Structure 1
Amino acid sequence: MSELWTAIRRHAETRPQAIAIDGSVAMSWEALERVLPMLAADVATRCDVARPLGIRVDHGVVECLLDLALVGSGIVTIPLPPFFSLAQGAAALDHAGASAVVSGAIDLADGPTPGFTMTVEPRRTLRADVPEETARITFTSGSTGDPKGICLSMTHLCRVAGAVVEHLGAHHAGRHLPILPPGILLENVAGFYATILAGGTYVALPQAEVGMADPFRPDFTKMLGAIEDNAITSLILVPEYLAGLVGAMAASGRRLPLLTLVAVGGARIEPRLLDAAAAVGLPVRQGYGLTECGSVVALDDGEPGSRGSVGQSIGANEIRLADDGEILIDGPMFLGTIGHPRPAAPFATGDIGRIDDLGRLWIEGRKSSLIVTSHGRNISPEWVEGALRADPAILQVLVRGDGRSALDALIVPANPAADVAAAVAAANLALPAYARVAQWEIVPPFTPAAGLLTGNSRLRRRAIEVAYPYRDAGLDQPFFDRLVAETREAQARFQMTPQLIAGLTGRISVADYIAYLTEAFHHVRHTVPLMREARARLNHRPTLVTALDDYIEEETGHEYWILEDIAAAGGDAEAVGAGLPSPATKAMVDHAYRTIREGNPAAFFGMVYVLEGTSIAMASHGAGAVQTALGLPDDAFHYLTSHGALDQEHMVFFERLMNRIDDPGDQAAIIAMARAMFGLFGGLFAGIELETMHVAA
């Protein structure tokens, strides 16, 4: 019997009616002890106990019961975070030899005995070489290329959870709320399992109810309300979420006096953020850990002198430093990766740190990411990134500059209107001259789905630097690459439009979808007329004329696809066809006509770049999410799905076409049109008032 089940039995004997798990229903310790054996037996009959099982679920009471039942059944689990794409999830399941994946709705059955109604999707995979005693396989990066599942035993995970409780004291076991997305080991071990061992109450609310419907664009006002409304006493956050919560509290004046612990891990916390958290009364303790060590290794003890450190070992592991300052961990560890047992040696973390006279660990950066400038200065990028991220205008940032004379930053702003220039200037004032950012560029959000971020919100630096090469590295680069680079900021701000994000993540209503299709109709109906006007003015340019002829043939009639989709979704297609566009849509179309008629008609290809690139994103990410959320038929998505497939082919053709354009005037006109169109298209989306936004407010 696992330590978790033993603890549940102990709590059921000493205080049977106290609440163990709260949320959609309240589950007492007595009820939990009574139903778990039945649920474990039930799960064991539905699943192959000899093969790993993928888990793709939300937070919730029944999801907690499923976790505990799987522990009791001895089935190896593979948690899949919600931000894994289908391809990433499939790669993880195949690599681990999963027999099935549990997904979809999991509900508490009616009657005196809780039970599951769960979707189990069988998979055909080859059996994988999983180490003995494995209970959980965690894929930390979500890579689809060469995934390496970290194999962990339940004894190890319970030992870490128990060490967390012993280090903190059971008095912190009040009401814990999971904020990190499901499937994240840190929350599972230090949040759920530690709460079970300590006898607290785990308030298992779905992500949408705590402002985390989109984990990379959280609603911090909603998060603050959920913490207040549920009398929460402890949280586990990453620095970005801490910054957002602090901002919401500072802006509203609301405070959270019931909180006794806000544990923060995943990345270094900037001292200014710690100061801001203290100013609004948040009891922040910074921690340090790795998946290979079962999540938590060290945690600040809350004493004034330790602030900024990650504290001492919680007792599960021994921490020491190599000669070059790299942090080495001894003690209980992961069992290995799939097909590769762990060598019997201290674990080299790749992190650089120092240990003070009281044994407290201070993290100073990553060994592999240390920047050495051409002036010979050694700079930890985490230090500079923390200074930049302390400003609420900046959501994410990567600093680089190895071998160069000055630092460069890739910045994701907190919102489309964020004043990034002012934020960089303010951070530079607080930094010494050699560590100041000389150049910066706005880019779209770093996400695990794009392969640029780990599940614990750590930057995948090499992947990001490959995705965004230095601008001065391509003075002779093909024009298409220059077009992408020089419109990246406009595209990034466009991609932060709340209505676009809601659509891409499926968080819209049927009425919202029809409203989008309505505006799509009113600009798509002008696509072919615009092409014909551009063709007429470019009749002396055979290469561009031939391209436009091909586009005209492909695009003719697409507006009628949209009307058919509107009708299939339950809208009034006839009224839309006879109606007028919104002012924002009209402004976008008018700008295109004016540019073609009065300026350089080659600029039209800048509009092509914006619209086709957006169609691909909406088809590959948004259409499936919206259809799943709304339950609409395939006939309601003909435009999005078909147009996306067409535009993937078009974009290959478009890149070749752009690389044949060598006239500087044409190039400048195309870039200017693309920048303008990203802004105008963003205005089109921003003008759609979503029903879901009113509900959230």
Structure 2
Amino acid sequence: MVNIVTQLEHLYDETQVVVRDTARSLTRGQLTATCQQLAKQLERRNIRTLALHADNGLDWIVIDLACQLANICILPLPTFFSISQLQHALSETPVDAVISDNPAVPDLFPQVKHRETLSEILPGSNHLQLLLMEMSDTPALLPQQTGKITYTSGSTGSPKGVCLSNYQLLEQASVLANAVALKHPRHLCLLPLSTLLENVAGVYTPIMASGEVIAPSLRELGFCGSSSVDASIMTSVISRYQPDSLILTPQLLLLLVNAASKGWQAPSSLRFVAVGGSRVSPALLSQAWQAGIPAYEGYGLSECASVVSLNATRQHRPGSCGKPLPHLGVRIIDDEVVVTGNPMLGYVNEPSSWGNQAIYTGDLGYLDNDGYLFINGRRKNLLISSYGRNINPEWIESEFLAHPVFAEFVVFGDAEPYCVALLTPRQPGISRRQLQAIIDDINRSLPDYARICQWAILPAPLTTDRSLITDNGRPKRSAIQEHYRSLLDSLYHSGVEELSA
């Protein structure tokens, strides 16, 4: 059986620390024993699929590895998902059990038949609840060998579940460890562990390199929701643990660069800082290096088990997303990046997607003569925020256009820290205060990364300029963005508190 726990004996001494959070640490022997004990307890309860909805920490990693050991399919659920997204994920993928640290979660699901704490299985884990669920009349359709189902932040309000095998994840981690080429790295997890990138590259990869994984809670890192961070808290944690490696979104890299400009000293221990999730400004990467942050841009997607290409110390071309990993093939077909070599097993409940050997990414790009990958943008309208959240603007727009006050509502935010909107109200005399109250009300139904933080009324309705709309009345986003560039730029400099503040 392929799993990381069985590899530990070959990678670590018995007393070597493998994982830790701010309260506890586990040596190789302790981690193996704890995972084995938890695996047996989960098997005893006849759990074959399990959803994990919990903050970062040592327990998250133990549960993840124990599921591998017990051959239990695990469904990590981001803590930043809205209630409707959680309910969608568990209705689309019914599970036998849920482990959660949120006391409100059991009341969201009528199918909970029994609950218990995990304190007997994981000492010190009174905050975690094991919820056993009623058997579903319509179990999810999953490809064979599915070991993990990952839901991204969602390109719509109802994101798809990507199915991956444990063998794929282990192979990905092994290849990444060789590409990064750090021996015994000390890695500090800054992204949610439910994010496949941090899960694979931030936990499995350091373990495959006989390293140490440090996983403080997101609260201890200074996060509030998924799109707000206290810079002073995060930088103090980085300084405290003196890591060799980090994984950052562009916005978190900006936070560290701004902190350095205000006097924070990046640890000299840093040897590799991977940056991904959305486009990275070359100027920001240059500033990072000047601040002592060795930032390397990469590219990937869940459908390819996370990382596809990566700059590294031995192969580094600024401005590119690095060279594809050696076990992958990357081609450019009609300007689109197409990946082969380690494709997902398929999507949950979509047998037509199973077994496809090529992943058409929807990203436009090219390979230079030396094999470095460059990404130019999205084929479709999917926005990727600077926090790495996938956002379909049509989804957000539909929520606002459902309200009778809005005649037009167009959302922007690609490579930016938050979403903004240009709008036309149906009532010309309505006040900004009234509009803001309506926007605030609708925002509360959306996850925080999809909320409208700034907005402006269009100087004239889009319908008055046919170059800004299609024949059937849909907005031409690139044309609108170019036409109102200065107005959109002003929305990112109009008083919203930046992450680096």
Taking structure 1 as the reference length, the TM-score comes to 0.54
Cα offsets for 1:445-486 (capped at 9, x unmatched): xxxxxxx969832342444566789xxxxxxxx99337x979
1:458 aligns with 2:469: no
Give the aligned partner of residue 330 of structure 1.
Answer: 340
Cα offsets for 1:594-647 (capped at 9, x unmatched): xxxxxxxx98x876665576577679999xxxxxxxxxxxxxxxxxxxxxxxxx
Sort the Cα spacing of 1:485 and 1:615 in 2 relative to 1 into closer, same or farther, 3 A: closer
Letter in 2 for 1:158: L
Cα offsets for 1:216-248 (capped at 9, x unmatched): 011122111100001111111111111111111
Name the CA distance, whole Å, in 2 between partners of 1:253 and 1:207. 21
Letter in 2 for 1:33: T
Give the aligned partner of residue 300 of structure 1.
Answer: 311
- Structure with the higher fraction of residues in strand conformation: 2
- The answer to whether the Cα contact below 8 Å between 1:62 and 1:108 also exists between their aligned partners in 2 is no
Give the aligned partner of residue 79 of structure 2.
Answer: 82
- The answer to whether the Cα contact below 8 Å between 2:315 and 2:323 also exists between their aligned partners in 1 is no
Cα distance, 1:343 vs structure 2: 4.4
Q: Which has the larger radius of gyration?
A: 1
Cα distance, 1:283 vs structure 2: 0.6
Cα distance, 1:312 vs structure 2: 1.2
Give the aligned partner of residue 270 of structure 1.
Answer: 281
Q: 2:380 aligns with which of 368, 383, 392?
A: 368
SS in 1 for 2:233: helix
Taking structure 2 as the reference length, the TM-score comes to 0.74
1:60 aligns with 2:57: yes
Sort the Cα spacing of 1:260 and 1:129 in 2 relative to 1 into closer, same or farther, 3 A: same
- 1:7-22 paired onto structure 2 within 5 Å: 7-12=7-12, 15-22=13-20
SS in 1 for 2:366: strand
Q: 1:136 aligns with which of 120, 125, 148?
A: 148
- The answer to whether the Cα contact below 8 Å between 2:170 and 2:204 also exists between their aligned partners in 1 is yes
Give the aligned partner of residue 35 of structure 2.
Answer: 36
Cα distance, 1:3 vs structure 2: 3.9
Cα distance, 1:190 vs structure 2: 0.8
Name the CA distance, whole Å, in 2 between partners of 1:212 and 1:365. 28
Task: Return structure 1 stretches of 4+ with deviation > 6 angstroms.
Answer: 105-108, 452-455, 615-622
- The answer to whether the Cα contact below 8 Å between 1:297 and 1:316 also exists between their aligned partners in 2 is no
Name the CA distance, whole Å, in 2 between partners of 1:615 and 1:464. 13
Name the CA distance, whole Å, in 1 between partners of 2:269 and 2:64. 28
Sort the Cα spacing of 1:336 and 1:183 in 2 relative to 1 into closer, same or farther, 3 A: same
Letter in 1 for 2:24: V
SS in 2 for 1:41: helix
SS in 2 for 1:55: strand
- 1:222-621 paired onto structure 2 within 5 Å: 222-302=233-313, 306-322=317-333, 324-341=334-351, 342-369=354-381, 456-463=388-395, 480-481=405-406, 614=440
Cα distance, 1:339 vs structure 2: 2.6
Q: 1:158 aligns with which of 166, 170, 177?
A: 170
Give the aligned partner of residue 24 of structure 2.
Answer: 25
SS in 2 for 1:306: coil
Letter in 2 for 1:155: Y
Name the CA distance, whole Å, in 2 between partners of 1:246 and 1:129. 45
Name the CA distance, whole Å, in 1 between partners of 2:66 and 2:84. 28
Cα distance, 1:181 vs structure 2: 1.8
Give the aligned partner of residue 100 of structure 2.
Answer: 103
- The answer to whether the Cα contact below 8 Å between 1:352 and 1:365 also exists between their aligned partners in 2 is yes
Cα offsets for 1:396-436 (capped at 9, x unmatched): xx7xxxxxxxxxxxxxxxxxxxxxxxxxxxxxxxxxxxxxx
Cα distance, 1:35 vs structure 2: 2.6
Name the CA distance, whole Å, in 2 between partners of 1:333 and 1:64. 24
SS in 2 for 1:354: strand
Letter in 2 for 1:71: Q
SS in 2 for 1:161: helix
Q: 1:215 aligns with which of 226, 232, 238?
A: 226
Name the CA distance, whole Å, in 1 between partners of 2:283 and 2:386. 25
Letter in 1 for 2:142: V
SS in 2 for 1:2: coil
Name the CA distance, whole Å, in 1 between partners of 2:117 and 2:212. 20
- The answer to whether the Cα contact below 8 Å between 1:59 and 1:206 also exists between their aligned partners in 2 is yes
Cα offsets for 1:169-203 (capped at 9, x unmatched): 142x4211111123100100111011121111110
Give the aligned partner of residue 181 of structure 1.
Answer: 192
Number of matched residues? 418
SS in 2 for 1:160: helix
Name the CA distance, whole Å, in 1 between partners of 2:146 and 2:315. 40
Q: Which 5+ residue runs of structure 2 have no aligned equivalent?
A: 103-115, 413-418, 421-428, 449-494
Name the CA distance, whole Å, in 1 between partners of 2:120 and 2:133. 30
Name the CA distance, whole Å, in 2 between partners of 1:48 and 1:33. 20
Sort the Cα spacing of 1:176 and 1:47 in 2 relative to 1 into closer, same or farther, 3 A: farther
Sort the Cα spacing of 1:206 and 1:108 in 2 relative to 1 into closer, same or farther, 3 A: farther
- Structure with the higher fraction of residues in helix conformation: 1
Name the CA distance, whole Å, in 2 between partners of 1:479 and 1:296. 43
Q: Which 5+ residue runs of structure 1 have no aligned equivalent?
A: 371-397, 399-451, 470-477, 489-494, 497-601, 623-682, 687-696
Cα distance, 1:114 vs structure 2: 4.8
- The answer to whether the Cα contact below 8 Å between 1:184 and 1:455 also exists between their aligned partners in 2 is no
SS in 2 for 1:40: helix
Give the aligned partner of residue 638 of structure 1.
Answer: none
Letter in 1 for 2:14: P
Q: 2:161 aligns with which of 140, 149, 153?
A: 149
- The answer to whether the Cα contact below 8 Å between 1:353 and 1:362 also exists between their aligned partners in 2 is yes
- The answer to whether the Cα contact below 8 Å between 2:16 and 2:28 also exists between their aligned partners in 1 is yes
Name the CA distance, whole Å, in 1 between partners of 2:322 and 2:436. 49
- The answer to whether the Cα contact below 8 Å between 1:81 and 1:455 also exists between their aligned partners in 2 is no
Name the CA distance, whole Å, in 2 between partners of 1:464 and 1:144. 8
- The answer to whether the Cα contact below 8 Å between 2:251 and 2:386 also exists between their aligned partners in 1 is no
Percentage identity across paired residues of the two chains: 31
Cα distance, 1:332 vs structure 2: 1.8
Give the aligned partner of residue 522 of structure 1.
Answer: none
SS in 2 for 1:8: helix
Sort the Cα spacing of 1:110 and 1:95 in 2 relative to 1 into closer, same or farther, 3 A: closer
Sort the Cα spacing of 1:616 and 1:330 in 2 relative to 1 into closer, same or farther, 3 A: closer
Letter in 1 for 2:130: V
1:4 aligns with 2:4: yes
Name the CA distance, whole Å, in 1 between partners of 2:213 and 2:230. 21
SS in 1 for 2:220: helix
Q: 1:122 aligns with which of 114, 117, 132?
A: 132
